[in-house]
Structure 1
């Protein structure tokens, strides 16, 4: 049985991974990312629960749930990264460590993507490394949770 549990959240349009703009996001699907996260979690003795929604309210509800049910959150909030104060506030209210992940380098893209609402409440951000960013985030989370 895993010692710690981590909620991996993916926001809008991430269900389209492998189909949407493969020149930016690659050919890896969300199912591939989730399988990798579960495998990495097993190796790190983490119970990983992966969820995706295109709806801001679901993501907010899951952050509220994390307060009682999870030890950490890894999140790729997609476009909500740059726009959602409500999601930022829900993440902050979770009172668990948060690591922000982006497949592309948001700082090398359009100017509106350079600002993250989530970064101020996250312990760190991994961006631009493709899907392996999720693995790196889980490795970092395991270290953080170990103390």
Structure 2
């Protein structure tokens, strides 16, 4: 079982800056992640919150709820949430950080991730495909 967590403003996909994030919606992304999970033989649960504390709770609870990996798009929390960083490092479920846009090609404040160092890896700039790659990686990791 894999968990896909999307942070602040990801609920606005398709409406917010379509030139950067595309025209597909969060619902489209969630359906696609569930379909990719099914292809991999994995159950995928998708959640989104604009609230840091909710994301923290979901990360804290992931292992107890049976999740074996987390795909996380922390949104803007990437750049300043030490609480999110501590939540990731304080539990044993592997996390892959994903960003739809190439954060390194955008504003300078987006170049720093405080969460990436405690994740298994980071995928940036590949749109929805980044989520698929993260799901594949986490599935392969569990098979080892």
Same fold (TM over 0.5): yes
Aligned counterpart in structure 1 of residue 89 of structure 2, from 88, 92, 100: 92
Correspondence list, 1:41-80, <5 A: 41-69=37-65, 70-80=67-77
* Structure-2 residue corresponding to 1:117: 114
Measure how far apart 1:94 and its partner are: 2.3
Aligned counterpart in structure 1 of residue 6 of structure 2, from 3, 10, 13: 10
* Structure-2 residue corresponding to 1:105: 102
Measure how far apart 1:136 and its partner are: 1.0
* Structure-2 residue corresponding to 1:26: 22
Superposition TM-score, scaled by structure 2 size: 0.97
Which runs of structure 1 show a deviation greater than 4 angstroms over 4 or more consecutive aligned residues? Answer: none
CA contact (8 A) 1:67 1:93 kept: no
Q: Secondary structure at the match of 2:36?
A: helix
Alignment RMSD, CA only? 0.7
Q: Which segments of 5 or more consecutive residues in structure 1 lack a partner in the other structure?
A: none
Aligned residues: 143
Q: Which segments of 5 or more consecutive residues in structure 2 lack a partner in the other structure?
A: none
Superposition TM-score, scaled by structure 1 size: 0.95
